[in-house]
Amino acid sequence: MLTYHDPQCTNYGAGQRTHFLLKALGQYATTDVVLLSETDSPNTTTDLPAELGSGKLFHLNYVPKNLLDRAWCGLPSKRLSTLLINTIDFDQYDYIVCRYITPYLKFNLPDNKPLLIDFDDPIYSISWSLLNSPRALLKETIKWLNQRIIKARLKTARLKNATFLFVCERDQKAFPQLKGGLLSNMPAFPQHPADYSASDGKTLLFVGFMSWQPNISAVDHFLAHIWPKILAKNPSARFRIVGKATPDNLRRWNAAPNCAADGYVDDLDAAYKEAAVCVVPVLSGGGSNIKVPEACAHQRPVVASGYSFKGWNNYFVAGQDILVGESNDDFAHHCARLLSDTAYAKTIALNGHRAVTSALSFDAFALRLRHILEST
């Protein structure tokens, strides 16, 4: 497996999917992992635990010398291909797994080996009107251009030995020429989800990596257009933002009324336990927000944007398992009702938890992967 995400680091969405994918593969075969990192640390080789297939973890570290060496760039890098060949003897492997499309496009991989490509979030939506700084505009423009490069290269790539994993039906339908199957994300389940009565009854929680522009835009939009409507009906309500963020953004958000931006927290379970409602007002990005099922796994009612819900409409029923805010007024109304009607909030929380445990468990994830592999 070639990846830029450590399969043993599960405190963020991309790391979680890498972990579960390797764990599922480990049920069938020993899997070695090449972890590529843009650092100047020395390369190391360690053993993976039995849960993750008992293979080797090769830490391949490098400092990018140009744009082609960057992890996100969809163009080939001769330098990185050479580093990889000097680290791995591909002749000893039966299968090559690429976490994301980038390793497939960046490295000169053998064309005589079957490929499993985890095409995670290949469609990146950008809401240009939500960008609040020149830096954000530049970063999102580069991402947009990179997506165009990836799509263009896929049209000319040799894909006869490749099987693609898609996280949602929307992505699979967008690439009908690619063979593969649907392997939706799954959340990391808490060992003991807190009963809804443990919440403080007033806190709305947003969890996310707050250096990710779609999350920044989501919080900014929520505070500007939704939060004032909620406070008008629930003056004692509190909005809490959890996730690594820049000091400037933390200061800006903490200045908003009844808002607490905590940054990274050690105990995420405790944050969910306190929350009365989890909000996912995301309007751009990949669209398969793990925030939605993760909150359901913690047995908390969720209000999600229509954009976020589209990544999960195969597994949740809107209005029953989670609430969907198609407009700012709609979103605010759902939040206000959940804050004021405890019985209703508990019902939504229990329905969401029931749906996520039955459809998005690890056993279901591993079985879907097995079916995809057996059908190709």
2-186+362-374 adopts what CATH topology? Rossmann fold (3.40.50)
- The reported pLDDT for the residue numbered 156 is 75
For 317-348, b/e burial (b = at least 16 CB within 10 A) is eeeebbbbbeebebbbbbbbbbbeeeeebbeb
Phi-psi map region of 319: left, alpha, beta (phi>0 left; psi -120 to 50 alpha): left
- The reported pLDDT for the residue numbered 287 is 64
Domain edges within the chain: 2-186+362-374, 196-359
Phi-psi map region of 205: left, alpha, beta (phi>0 left; psi -120 to 50 alpha): beta
Separation CA 304–CA 5 (nearest Å): 27
Separation CA 115–CA 134 (nearest Å): 39
- The reported pLDDT for the residue numbered 298 is 96
- The reported pLDDT for the residue numbered 164 is 95
Each residue's pLDDT tens digit, 299-331: 999 999 999 998 898 899 999 999 999 999 999
- The reported pLDDT for the residue numbered 121 is 76
> Which CATH superfamily includes the segment(s) 196-359?
Glycogen Phosphorylase B; (3.40.50.2000)
- The reported pLDDT for the residue numbered 124 is 79
- The reported pLDDT for the residue numbered 159 is 77
Ranges of the chain with pLDDT below 70 = 287-288
Does the fold of domain 196-359 match that of domain 2-186+362-374? yes
Separation CA 187–CA 365 (nearest Å): 10
